[in-house]
Amino acid sequence: MKGFEPKLIAFLCNWCSYVAADAAGVARFVQKPNVRVIRVFCSGMVDPSYVIKAFASGADGVLVAGCHPGDCHYLAGNIKALRRSFLLRKLLAELGVDQQRFRLEWIAASESPLYAKVVNEMVEEIRNLGPFISKAKKLSKGGA
Amino acid sequence: MSRSNNSSSAKDFLSDVEKRSHQNLLECLQCGKCSGGCPVASEQVPGPRQLVAEVLAGLKQKALSNPLVWHCVCCGTCLIRCPVQISIYRVSSALCEIAHEEKMAPSVPDINLFEVLFLKSVENYGRLKELRTIAEYNLRSGHFLKDVDKGIRLMLKGAISPVEIVKGWEKDKRVSSIFEKARKIG
Amino acid sequence: MKKIGVYICHCGTNIGGNVDCHKISEQLSTEIGEVAVCRDYKYMCSEPGQKMIRDDIAELGLDHVVEASCSPKMHEPTFRNAVSAAGMNPYLFEMVNIREHCSWVSDNPEGATQKAKDLIKGGIARVLHHEPLTGSTKSVNPVAMVVGGGIAGITAALKIANAGYKVFMIEKEEIVGGKMAQFDKTFPTLDCSGCILTPKTSEVGRHRNIEILTKSEVTEVTGFVGNFKVRVLQKPRYVSVDKCTGCGDCQQVCPINIPSPFELGMTTRHPISRPFPQAIPNTYSIIRTGMPPCQSACPAGVNVQGYMALTGVGKFEQALSLVRERMPFASACGRICVRPCEDACKRGQIDSPTAICFTKRFLGDYEKDTGAEWNPPIKERREEKVAVIGSGPSGLSAAYYLALEGYQVTVYEKLPVAGGMLTVGIPSYRLPRDVINSEIENIRSMGVTIKTGVTFGENVTFESLEEDGFGAVFLSTGLHIGRGLGLEGEDAQGVLGGVEFLRKVALDEPVNVGEKVIVIGGGNVAVDVARTALRLGAAQVELVCLESRHEMPAWERELDEALEEGVIIRNSLGPKRFVQDDGAIKSVEFRRCLAVFDENGKFSPSYDENDTTDIPCSTVFVAIGQASDRNFINSTGLTTKPGGIISVNPDTMETSRPGVFAGGDCTLGPATFVEAVAHGRQAALSIDSYLKYGGLRSVNSRESATPVEISEAERKRAKPVLRSVMPVLAPEQRKKTFDPIECGFTEEMARSEGQRCLACGVCCQCGECVRKCGPQAIDLNQSAVTRELEVGAIVVATGVDVFDAHQYPEYGHGKYPDVITNLQFERLCNASGPTGGKVVRPSDGKVPNSVVFIQCVGSRDKSKGYEYCSKVCCMISAKQLSIFKHHNPQGQAYVFYIDNRAGGKGYEEFLRRAIEEEKAQYIRGRVAKVFEEGGNLVVRAENSLVGCPVEVQADLVVLATGLVPQKDYVNVARALNLSTDKYGFFMELHPKLGPAETSLAGIYLAGCAQGPKDIPESVAQGGAAAAEALALFSMGQVEIDPTVATLNERLCTGCRTCVGMCAYNAISFDELRKVATINQALCQGCGTCAAACPVSAIQVQHYRQDQIFAQIEGILAS
């Protein structure tokens, strides 16, 4: 959709993906400016309600990025985030959120190019999907 | 000596070669392992490393007249040894193409002549007619008696038929139609 | 209404160049009511910037502060301190990252400015929900742990120890010193490496504050900065550090030789050894990988590798003693054992297993043949008497081991001859009578009384033995009844049990086998019966069994020999009935057996009743299995198991009657000779414990086993010799007599087999060194110990490994012996090395005249996965060629390089010296290949500065292999929770400003573990890491982040979801009050429990749900 600038929220874990994002900044890997970062201490800290709140508040896409399995600073917080993601996806589907709008990625502290790549890819994907309009909004506007 | 004035011609030449050969030449360390292993490199024929250096430096004329461009047999030893996996034989092939397009006189005319005649034979007859091709090669290159003894020995063994000179001038359209199609695609 | 101060930093042009800070500042001042003041400034982290904040807090009475600048990982502490200095709680502050995540990555100023504004709005919305928090303080345990004993670790340890604190040094190898201990000289001074290292290692070794744990690895780290709990696995040295004098006598008698890891395979070492005389710890230590598969597989636990190794070097007497520690009957065992050892032997994964069994036979026979005197190590005579019932292998074994302990043993045997199944079950062509008698004589000579013709239950009973003063009884009566089929006509004359038949033959009782014999059964007993019948003159012997040929339980070898002798085997037939003629057997009717086992694998034969075969015969032997004598067993009054076998405690061998033990077939069912012998020994040990202490011995833990799959190192040790073939008598010759079939090994064959052994356990625990050691410093029974250490700071200095040059087949390493690595060349130069310091070619020991160094082997090579430059190899080669020139001034050195990296102090000058004074030829061009021509090595490359190919003839080629992370870096990373880069080097906190720290508080880095570097850099970094640890110790306490989980008990539903979530076991469930409880001292603040709580009863302070929701809303508000 022309002129549409997606708004993405990214929950980055303090030990891996946040460091990768910082390192991407130091290395000046150019990224689209559509992503807004919220720092958490572990991908396991991301309550599913945060993701839903993000979509409800106007986000078009949500990224949760943690350490690779086996490397979590808190041993297995990322595994718990993974476990939760399955049910969360089902719930998001019920709420009318396309599956591509939510991504759970493993990005290590040294993988700054990967972080930049994921951000840029996701922005374009969401741009092609168009803005997320909640069912409530659709109903209030008199049906989609 | 040329003075660099930051014009785009050097960069254009590099990106042209990179595009044609599908290789990222900026990764080259200039370590020389390719030249060390190249079977055709000698004191007279520089190795692949030098060719890449010439392209990277934007020395178009020098690169196009580098004899390696013609001597390269595309064996792939350079690719196997290269620490950043550059297929340098593709670079030399790309330079052949550019030289041909710009109608440059090839730096090793004999090799060029042989390749042209080889392809001509394949295009017209669907195969290499050895006697005919070598005869024409000898004539046009001026090496009239080159390999004549080998030719006679081959004829005696029956590997080459002397009748080929007089018979079999019909052209075979099957392969030449492929060449035509390729030329149309470009 | 709350008053917030918002500060936007330009960071010079880093932020200001892309983000319009001033515009945002103006907009926010007016758009958001709570923003009392909004300023933008060039450098907020500078003193004027911070003063700005402090002044605003004081003058405007701000409640919260939001700072928008760089990453909080950079300056959050700076600003928290700034607000704290002004009297505001540091947790009422929020930092927004608009540099790394925004201005630095955007090429679109408009987009960047909007993004920055959104992020700041998020920060403002969030900070309104912040509450003041106070962290707790915890004291620091002023003990340091240094992981790794190389030069970096040594430096760190000494600096911390000299400051007065205790240090644990954990070193994986047997000595400290790391790679530097392997060098000869160091660049650029050409200092002798050992000379500058040994004063340091000696200091570490004798420092009263440093405790060195060698052969140790860190397996787990828990806790937090100042309070770590570390689990360390310490593998045994087997040699006491206090007692060893370093005399080296042990090495002289060790029978095993393996390629030395310290010498990089250029020479061998004994498992008990010391890398060099000045090593710290200065004592010897033993390499032992674990219990080899042969010993693990042996039911008696015979030290197979030990006796094979001793045999291999000709020490037959010692080998036999070693065998007898677990198996008293070497000659018998070597003829009849089932050999589970050989099935497990790893040599079998190359060609054939070592001939373990035949070699054991040789050892037993050798003693007899050479008339050697046998002196069993019998201990002081004891008064207690032990009775053994049954003189089979189990009983005799028990008698042997009890007699060794000094007990007076009497063996009661029912039959007129001793030996049990050995005498009356196994035909003498397999086990000759004289061999058995000799073994029995040995037992008698120990003072054991063997009374034959005595039946238990009739002549002696438990009560009578008790009266006669016997303190314990061992029942080993075996299984001597042959099982019957229970078929029609089985009572015919000429139908005999197989077991009974063999016994009669053994006792020289007459048996008429007739012309045609049928043997029913498919096991070894049936085969023994068939071959015995043949030898007694039967014209035709048919072996008929249920099983198909490959299902038959009998040994392949036995079946092959039987077939050679003319026994006919008929498979898949089951007996139906015995056809009699006037009370005598005429024939046996068989039916086709379709399957022996059912789908569950249980023995349940199915037949085709219509497919029958009638086989005429004169005699039938039924050999379908051994059974227990039920009457006898019941008469003992002991508890039994199904099948009429005696029930015993598997560890102690005790029966249901106190003081009565049992073992062998009568407790196992039909089993093997070696199991019976194992039982005998086990029972003897139990009885010994019972008589001495009244209690029964506990089971010792077994040594861990080596891997089952053969390793590369083991494969390389294999000598290319085939297994010796046991000479056997020809079938035509042997089927007529009971002469032994196998002729036995010669001395050469036995030695050869001993040398074929791969030494899977490395040290074979033969005990030669123990016996030789004067100070009695060796204890082979040491086992690995896990230690739990409490430390306050950890320094990781685990060092680096060397690239494996085999990955470049074009260079010929591993193919040509004269193509070696830098480190191998270093060992050649070193006076303690494999050549005593002579620089010679490994192939022929000649002094090389031309040495070619090839640089960048495994470095600067993306295709091999190591793109980086290893930094030190250019200097190493310059150093090594200088050493070479000093050894051989007429020699010529060549160095093929790409670039010369000489960045340290004096490095460039040293390199010029190598070129100008040592006249080394430096040729710029990466080598393409090394090949052999006319018996010489040739190195081919391009001289790229000249532009032509070049070939150099080399006497010796040295590959400058790169520095790569240790192979087990993942284990260290996982244990300490460290991050690594894509190669495996540990990640420092900041590449410029934090090279010695990690992102984990209390854990520091030093040396090449963080990245390739030279010695002075490693030393400097070691000092830096020490300084970090010392700073921590001198502070004495650490502030614990208050960002931990808290529970609102009123909301807790008691679902217990959180309890299992916590990786640190910080959450437990209070059963009384039915709510969860969080131990905040253990909580690490990860938030996994909070995210999992279905009612949000748990929240992480400073990362609460309302705070995050506010941040989301603030960011997305349009």
Indicate whether A142 pLDDT > 70.
no
Contact map slice: C 986-1015 vs A, CB within 8 A: 987, 999-1000
- Asked if residue B3 is part of any domain, the answer here is no
Residues B25 and B64 in one domain: yes
Locate the chain C residue with the closest alpha carbon to A70.
C974
Domain that holds residue A74: 8-143
What's this model's pTM, rounded to 2 decimal places? 0.85
pLDDT digits (tens, 9 = 90+) for B59-94: 999 999 999 999 999 999 999 999 999 999 999 999
Lowest mean pLDDT, pick from C182-196, C734-748, C905-919:
C734-748
User: Which token pair is A125?
Assistant: 């994907």
Residue B32 and residue C862: Cβ atoms within 8 Å?
no
Residues B96 and B53 in one domain: yes
- Asked if residue B1 is part of any domain, the answer here is no
Residues B149 and B88 in one domain: no
Q: What integer pLDDT is reported at residue B171 of this predicted model?
A: 82
Helix, coil or strand: residue B140? helix
Q: What integer pLDDT is reported at residue C477 of this predicted model?
A: 93
- Asked if residue A2 is part of any domain, the answer here is no
Q: What integer pLDDT is reported at residue C1115 of this predicted model?
A: 94
Q: What integer pLDDT is reported at residue C319 of this predicted model?
A: 96
**Residue C1019 dihedral angles phi and psi, to the nearest 5°:** -65, -45
Indicate whether C351 pLDDT > 70.
yes
- The average pLDDT across B8-14 equals 84
- Which class for C883: exposed (0-12), middle (13-18), buried (19 or more C-beta within 10 A)? buried
Q: Looking at the DSSP assignment, which residues form a beta bridge with residue C231? A: C220, C788
Give the distance from residue C111's alpha carbon to the nearest chain A alpha carbon, in angstroms: 6
Q: Are C571 and C554 in contact (CB under 8 A)?
A: no
Mean confidence (pLDDT) of chain B: 89
Within 8 A of A45 by CB-CB distance, chain C residues are 1086-1088, 1090-1091, 1100, 1103
Indicate whether A1 pLDDT > 70.
no
- The average pLDDT across C371-389 equals 91
Within 8 A of A113 by CB-CB distance, chain C residues are none
Helix, coil or strand: residue C885? helix
- Asked if residue A1 is part of any domain, the answer here is no
Q: What integer pLDDT is reported at residue C733 of this predicted model?
A: 85
Q: SS3 breakdown of chain A: % helix, strand, coil, rounded to 5? A: 45, 15, 35
- Asked if residue A67 is part of any domain, the answer here is yes
Q: What integer pLDDT is reported at residue C483 of this predicted model?
A: 87
Residues B80 and B149 in one domain: no
HEC profile of C63-117: CEEEEEECCHHHHHHHHHHHHHHCCCCHHHEEEEECCCCCHHHCCCHHHHHHHHH
Q: Are C1112 and A38 in contact (CB under 8 A)?
A: yes
Within 8 A of C927 by CB-CB distance, chain B residues are 33, 36
Q: Which of B101, B121, B144 is the last residue of a domain?
A: B101
- Interface partners of chain A (CB pairs < 8 Å, 3 or more) are C
- The average pLDDT across C199-204 equals 96
- Asked if residue B2 is part of any domain, the answer here is no
User: Which token pair is C1028?
Assistant: 């970090």
- The average pLDDT across C662-682 equals 94
pLDDT digits (tens, 9 = 90+) for A19-31: 999 999 999 999 9
Q: Report yes or no: C781 at the B interface, CB cutoff 8 Å.
A: no
- Asked if residue B87 is part of any domain, the answer here is yes
Q: Which of B101, B127, B161 is the last residue of a domain?
A: B101
Residues B136 and B176 in one domain: yes
Contact map slice: C 933-962 vs B, CB within 8 A: 940-942, 944, 947-949
Residues B154 and B181 in one domain: yes
Q: Are A36 and A7 in contact (CB under 8 A)?
A: yes
Domain that holds residue B123: 109-185
- The average pLDDT across C304-311 equals 97
Residue C898 and residue B36: Cβ atoms within 8 Å?
no
Q: What integer pLDDT is reported at residue A135 of this predicted model?
A: 64
Q: Report yes or no: C931 at the B interface, CB cutoff 8 Å.
A: no
**How large a percentage of chain C has pLDDT more than 90?**
82
Say yes or no: ipTM exceeds 0.90. yes
Please name the member of B29, B32, B82 whose beta carbon is closest to the beta carbon of C942. Answer: B32
DSSP assignment of B32-48, as one string? -HHHHH-TT--SSS--H
What CATH number does residue A15 fall under? 3.40.50
Lowest mean pLDDT, pick from C71-85, C199-213, C674-688:
C71-85
Residues B125 and B95 in one domain: no
Residues B97 and B114 in one domain: no
Q: What integer pLDDT is reported at residue C410 of this predicted model?
A: 96
- The average pLDDT across C787-816 equals 97
Q: How far apart are CA C480 and CA C1095, in angstroms?
A: 73
Q: How far apart are CA A24 and CA C23, in angstroms?
A: 26
Q: What integer pLDDT is reported at residue A143 of this predicted model?
A: 47
Q: What is the largest CA-CA distance in chain B?
A: 63
Q: What integer pLDDT is reported at residue C697 of this predicted model?
A: 64
Within 8 A of C941 by CB-CB distance, chain B residues are 32-33, 35-36
Q: What integer pLDDT is reported at residue A144 of this predicted model?
A: 45
Please name the member of C898, C948, C949 whose beta carbon is closest to the beta carbon of B29. Answer: C898
Confidence band, pLDDT 50/70/90 cuts, at residue B3: confident
Residue C925 and residue B31: Cβ atoms within 8 Å?
yes
pLDDT digits (tens, 9 = 90+) for C105-123: 999 899 999 999 999 999 9
Confidence band, pLDDT 50/70/90 cuts, at residue A136: low
Q: What integer pLDDT is reported at residue B28 of this predicted model?
A: 94
Residue B31 and residue C948: Cβ atoms within 8 Å?
no
Q: What integer pLDDT is reported at residue C1025 of this predicted model?
A: 98
Q: Report yes or no: C1097 at the A interface, CB cutoff 8 Å.
A: no
Residue C941 and residue B85: Cβ atoms within 8 Å?
no
Residues B23 and B92 in one domain: yes
Indicate whether B160 pLDDT > 90.
no
Structural domain count of chain A? 1
Structural domain count of chain B? 2
Residues B32 and B66 in one domain: yes
pLDDT digits (tens, 9 = 90+) for C249-288: 999 999 999 999 999 999 999 999 999 988 999 999 999 9
Q: Are C289 and C276 in contact (CB under 8 A)?
A: no
Q: Do chains A and B touch (3 or more CB pairs under 8 A)?
A: no
Which residue from C202, C21, C191 is spatially nearest to C99, judged by alpha carbons? Answer: C21
Indicate whether C982 pLDDT > 80.
yes
Residue B43 and residue C856: Cβ atoms within 8 Å?
no
Q: How does DSSP classify residue C868?
A: S
Residue C948 and residue B46: Cβ atoms within 8 Å?
yes
pLDDT digits (tens, 9 = 90+) for C847-869: 999 999 999 999 999 999 999 99
Confidence band, pLDDT 50/70/90 cuts, at residue C398: very high
- Asked if residue A111 is part of any domain, the answer here is yes
Query: Burial letters for C1001-1037: b for 16+ Cβ neighbours within 10 Å, e otherwise?
Result: bbbbbbbbbbbbbbbebbbbbbbbbbbbbbebbeeee
**C215 phi-psi bin (left φ>0, alpha ψ -120 to 50, beta other):** left
pLDDT digits (tens, 9 = 90+) for A83-101: 999 999 999 999 889 999 9
Locate the chain A residue with the closest alpha carbon to C103.
A25
Locate the chain C residue with the closest alpha carbon to B77.
C928
Contacts of B95 (CB under 8 A, 6+ apart): B17, B51, B55, B63, B64, B66, B69
CB half-sphere exposure, C54, CA atoms < 13 A: 16
pLDDT digits (tens, 9 = 90+) for C420-464: 999 999 999 999 999 999 999 999 999 999 999 999 988 899 999
Confidence band, pLDDT 50/70/90 cuts, at residue B146: confident
Confidence band, pLDDT 50/70/90 cuts, at residue C889: very high
Q: Which of B74, B101, B128 is the last residue of a domain?
A: B101
Residues B86 and B133 in one domain: no
Residue B38 and residue C949: Cβ atoms within 8 Å?
yes
Mean confidence (pLDDT) of chain C: 93
**How large a percentage of chain C has pLDDT more than 70?**
100
Give the distance from residue C710's alpha carbon to the nearest chain A alpha carbon, in angstroms: 29
Contact map slice: C 1043-1062 vs A, CB within 8 A: 1043, 1061
Residues B81 and B35 in one domain: yes
Q: What integer pLDDT is reported at residue B40 of this predicted model?
A: 94
Helix, coil or strand: residue C753? helix
- Interface partners of chain B (CB pairs < 8 Å, 3 or more) are C
Helix, coil or strand: residue C1062? coil
Indicate whether C1007 pLDDT > 90.
yes
Indicate whether C1107 pLDDT > 90.
yes
